[in-house]
Amino acid sequence: MKDFEVKTKIYFGDDALAHLGELKTDRVFIVADPFTVSSGLIDHITNPLKKNDISYSIFSKVVADPPVEVVIAGVKEALACKGHYIVAVGGGSAMDTAKGIAYYTGLPMVIVPTVCATDAPCSSLSVMYTDEGVFDAYLFLDNCPNVVIVDSEIIARAPARLLVAGMGDAMATYF
């Protein structure tokens, strides 16, 4: 595995995704929910990588309430891909899946939320479920994601109901 140096950073604003091209690597493993892939949002993620000659593999088997089996499948694909970062793109399920993959591979995480519905982008916790969608376990990661990239143009396109859900999540977390 290639050595890497990552400092925890948060990028926010229009065109924040350009910072993906600054990763010191030649290969990443992207974990994206199916909507991100089918809607074309994934192109916003892959374009800065292509521009900087960073190759990638995309794992889009993300499901709501990710079961451990999906995470294990992602671990196998991430190891086969030989990427140097796990890049999560999408909502909470994509982030939980990516965090689980990062946890089991020991790779650093880059989080790119497409909605503001949870505190998942910055937390060092991943929730795992059974195949039936029943809570299974918490994975307590050693650190928060290494890089969080919040592109305000993408967030602004998200449904308003998810922004409201994020406000509720923040209040529940606070109390």
pLDDT at 149 over 90: yes
Report phi then psi at 9, rounded to 5: -140, 150
pTM of the model: 0.85
Contacts of 165 by beta carbon, 8 Å cutoff, 6+ apart: 117, 118
CA 85 to chain centre: 10
The residues facing 109 across adjacent strands are 86
Burial environment of residue 163 by CB neighbours within 10 A (0 to 12, 13 to 18, 19 or more): middle
At 155 the pLDDT is: 82
pLDDT digit string (tens) for 12-52? Answer: 898 899 999 888 899 999 999 998 898 888 998 999 999 99
Cα–Cα separations (whole angstroms), residue 44 to 3, 49, 142, 164: 27, 9, 29, 25
